[in-house]
């Protein structure tokens, strides 16, 4: 049975950066409307089943009602929770159920936890979060068409599926977590509100991508050396005052409406498999904009770049591949 999974994060786009910056608020009503459009796009491709992560806000309920009788829809069997482990577990269930694609609504943080459970299932990320380097600003109907086409195995569309990079976090030689875009070493001792917005507390930054048109911590890297999704390397940046040849002061959009000056002491290119030791104690590591890993004495913490991250679907490229070619009728 041709299946697509849907994971929508009710908390995406609602963190502290709405208070300290000018981040947009994506309401649950707008997320529910987006899901209706996603479902319509999926139905148009002939998908047979849509599996949905249950959430306390019941974001997908209107969409499921709208396509009743046209496609089989069901919530996966798991508790309704609104914490990140729920998204990871949901992705694992969808992979086990044979999903051909997973559509996500959220930002970099949402997609990070989904990627931890999705395995090789291609992700179609729709941006509804704050830092949105990984997800795309795309209309829901088109995202649904792209996801359905990939799941259906339409000839040629796999060319629009790209294997992304990731940053692996090792504690005492054990891989404990990952990031899709950035890992930032912070002097903040507690996870707290999770979101990182004050660059004065950040000492080191590790990046898989540094796109000039992105916002968030990765924007710092784009002012030093742009790094794309296909480049087989990443960046490591040490912040603060420096006197070496790489030292400089830049301006970067680290949050919506926030373009502060950032002092860079040094930076260099990270190669795949190369582990970098984190010496800061105490402190925390923020993964894709949210503090997750606590740095404590007696724990050896390292960060390494890997090239075998999650598969992601380029919606625009799928639609181009679906369009008729000028020589098709010749």
Longest dimension (CA), the chain: 69
pLDDT, mean over the chain: 90
DSSP strand pairing (3-8 vs 99-106): parallel
Res. 197 pLDDT band, cuts 50 70 90:
low
Find the mean pLDDT for residues 297-308.
95
pLDDT in tens, 137-152: 999 999 999 999 999 9
- The distance in angstroms from the start CA to the end CA of the chain is 35
CB 10 within 8 A of CB 114: no
Find the mean pLDDT for residues 251-271.
93
CB proximity list for 182: less than 8 A, separation 6 or greater: 108, 167, 205, 206, 207, 208, 216, 217, 218, 286, 287, 288, 289
Find the mean pLDDT for residues 216-225.
94
Residue 92 has pLDDT above 90, yes or no: yes
CA distances from 179 to 184, 208, 241, 309, 320 (A): 10, 9, 26, 9, 30
Find the mean pLDDT for residues 199-220.
92
Residue 9 has pLDDT above 70, yes or no: yes
Residue 190 has pLDDT above 90, yes or no: no
Residue 289 has pLDDT above 90, yes or no: no
pLDDT of residue 18: 44
pLDDT of residue 215: 86
pLDDT of residue 130: 60
Find the mean pLDDT for residues 220-228.
96
pLDDT of residue 27: 86
Pick from 2, 49, 52, 48: nearest CA to 31: 52
Find the mean pLDDT for residues 191-208.
77
pLDDT > 70 fraction of the chain, expressed in percent and rounded: 91
pLDDT in tens, 21-79: 556 678 899 999 999 999 999 999 999 999 999 998 899 999 999 999 999 999 999 98
CB proximity list for 246: less than 8 A, separation 6 or greater: 264, 265, 266, 267, 268
pLDDT of residue 125: 97
pLDDT of residue 280: 82
The domains found in the chain, sorted by start residue, are 3-164+310-322 (3.40.50), 166-306 (2.60.200)
pLDDT of residue 54: 94
pLDDT of residue 82: 67
CB 41 within 8 A of CB 47: no
DSSP character string of 136-175: B---HHHHHHHHHHHHHT-TTGGGGEEEPPEEEEEETTEE
Residue 107 has pLDDT above 70, yes or no: yes
Look up residue 142 and give its two tokens. 């088109």
| 3-state DSSP helix/strand/coil % of the chain, to nearest 5 | 25, 30, 45
pLDDT > 90 fraction of the chain, expressed in percent and rounded: 72
């Amino acid at each position: 049975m041709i299946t697509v999974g849907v994971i929508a994060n009710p908390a995406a786009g609602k963190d502290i950066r709405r208070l300290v910056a000018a981040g947009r608020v994506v309401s649950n009503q707008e997320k529910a409307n987006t899901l209706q459009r996603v479902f319509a796009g999926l139905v148009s491709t002939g998908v047979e089943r849509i599996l949905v992560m249950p959430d306390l806000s019941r974001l997908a309920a209107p969409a499921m009602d709208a396509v009743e009788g046209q496609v089989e829809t069901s919530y996966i069997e798991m508790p309704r929770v609104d914490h990140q482990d729920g998204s990871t577990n949901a992705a694992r269930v969808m992979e086990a159920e044979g999903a051909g694609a997973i559509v996500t609504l959220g930002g970099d943080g949402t997609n990070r936890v989904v990627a931890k459970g999705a395995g090789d299932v291609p992700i179609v990320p729709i941006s509804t979060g704050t830092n949105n380097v990984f997800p795309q600003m795309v209309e829901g109907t088109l995202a649904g068409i792209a996801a359905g086409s990939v799941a259906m195995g339409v000839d040629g569309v796999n060319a629009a599926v790209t294997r992304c990079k990731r940053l692996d976090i090792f504690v005492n030689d054990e891989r404990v977590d990952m990031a899709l875009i950035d890992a930032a070493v912070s002097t903040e001792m507690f996870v707290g509100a999770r979101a990182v917005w004050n660059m004065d507390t950040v000492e080191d930054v590790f990046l898989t991508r540094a796109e000039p048109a992105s916002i968030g911590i990765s924007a710092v890297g784009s002012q030093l050396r742009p790094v794309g999704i296909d480049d087989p390397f990443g960046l490591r940046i040490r912040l603060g005052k420096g006197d070496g040849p790489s030292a400089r002061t830049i301006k970067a959009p680290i949050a919506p409406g926030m373009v502060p000056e950032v002092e860079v002491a040094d930076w260099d290119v990270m190669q795949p498999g190369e582990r970098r030791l984190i010496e800061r104690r105490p402190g925390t590591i923020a993964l894709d904009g949210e503090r997750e890993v606590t740095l404590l004495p007696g724990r050896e913490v390292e960060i390494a770049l890997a090239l075998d991250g999650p598969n992601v679907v380029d919606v625009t490229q799928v639609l181009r591949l679906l369009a008729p070619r000028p020589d098709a009728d010749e």
